[in-house]
């Protein structure tokens, strides 16, 4: 998929350059893109490393586990009959909540294993888990904040509250659409 997107972007852009008769501009743009990526990584690294450090403290202080435990009851309502998966599911969502993507993925895979019925067909609970993951409910959107800081925002954190509200709306939509679609899609 990304293969196709990448080729399309470069080829279409290059064609536009050729049509406008600016071959030198094309080469300049290509290398400038890479240079911008390197610059971006450097400029957001400080804020990103800081937040990863802070979130690790939250994990060590047991906050991820605490949050996971408090989510178990409401989640068991969303995923009936998935008691064995409750642990990894809640730990995955809690780790994601603290922006600990590295920690979240293994829990996510373990959760999918517990939710699977071994038929190669997604269960209702698997779809619910995936859809909940897609709504990206997070305490702080650290990568976005890092980029806003790098771009010279006067208030890089001003997006935290609206982002959280949008994520909650998205999670609600995930639950409703999963419930409705599960009846239709076999």
Partner 1 sequence: MRAAELAIPCGIAALMVYALFKKVNVYKAFIEGAKEALPELLGILPPLCAMMTGIEVMRASGLMEALCRALSPVTGALGMESELMPLIILRPFSGSAALGLLRETLETCGPDSPVGMAASIIVGSTETVFYTTAVYFGAVGVTKTRHAIPAALIAGAVGTAAGLLLAKLPWGG
Near partner 1 in 102-141, by CB under 8 A? 102, 105, 108-109, 112-113, 116, 120-122, 126-136, 138, 140-141
Q: How far is the CB of 95 from partner 1 (least distance, A)?
A: 12
Does 74 engage in binding with partner 1 (CB under 8 A)? no
Do 125 and 115 form a contact (C-beta atoms < 8 A)?
yes
Q: Which of residues 138-157 bind partner 1 (CB under 8 A)?
A: 138, 140-141, 143-144, 147-148, 150-157
Cβ-proximal residues to 128 (8 Å cutoff; 6+ apart), any chain:
78, 79, 174, 175, 178
Structure-block tokens of residue 25: 């501009």
Binding residue for partner 1, selected from 73, 80, 81, 181, defined by CB under 8 A:
181
| 3-class DSSP state of 143 | helix
Q: Please identify, using beta-carbon distances, which residue of 69 and 164 lies nearer to partner 1.
A: 164
How many residues comprise the chain? 186
65 contacts partner 1 (rule: CB under 8 A): no
Residue list 23-62, contact with partner 1 (CB under 8 A): 25-26, 28-30, 32-34, 36-38, 40-41, 45, 48-50, 52-62
The nearest distance, CB 6 to partner 1, in angstroms, is 6
Select from 64, 68, 86, 171 the one that contacts partner 1 (CB under 8 A).
171
Q: Should residue 162 be labelled a site residue for partner 1 when binding is judged by CB under 8 A? A: yes
Question: What is the Cα–Cα distance from 129 to 145, expressed in whole angstroms?
Answer: 26
Question: In whole angstroms, what separates CA 35 from the centre of its chain?
Answer: 25
Give, in degrees to the nearest 5, the angle at Cα 175 between 102 and 2: 50
5 lines the binding site for partner 1 (CB under 8 A) = yes
What is the spatial distance between Cα 91 and Cα 112, in angstroms, rounded to a whole number?
Answer: 13
Tell which one of 65, 69, 87, 163 touches partner 1 (CB under 8 A).
Answer: 163
76 binds partner 1 (CB under 8 A): no
Run of H or E including 183: helix 160-184
């Amino acid at each position: 998929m990304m293969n196709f997107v990448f080729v399309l972007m470069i080829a279409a852009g290059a064609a536009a350059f050729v049509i406008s008769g600016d071959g030198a501009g094309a080469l300049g743009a290509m290398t400038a893109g890479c240079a911008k990526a390197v610059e971006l990584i450097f400029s957001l690294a400080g804020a990103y490393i800081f937040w990863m450090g802070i979130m690790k403290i939250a994990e060590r202080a047991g906050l991820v586990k605490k949050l996971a435990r408090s989510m178990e009851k409401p989640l068991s309502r969303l995923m009936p009959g998935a008691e064995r998966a409750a642990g990894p599911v809640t730990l995955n969502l809690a780790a994601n909540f603290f922006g600990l993507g590295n920690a979240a993925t293994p829990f996510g895979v373990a959760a999918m294993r517990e939710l699977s019925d071994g038929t190669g067909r997604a269960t209702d609970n698997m779809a619910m888990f995936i859809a909940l993951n897609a709504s990206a409910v997070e305490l702080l959107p650290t990568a976005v904040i890092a980029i806003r800081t790098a771009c010279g925002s006067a208030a890089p954190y001003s997006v935290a509250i609206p982002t959280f509200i949008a994520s909650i709306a998205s999670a609600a939509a995930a639950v409703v659409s999963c419930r409705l679609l599960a009846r239709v899609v076999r």
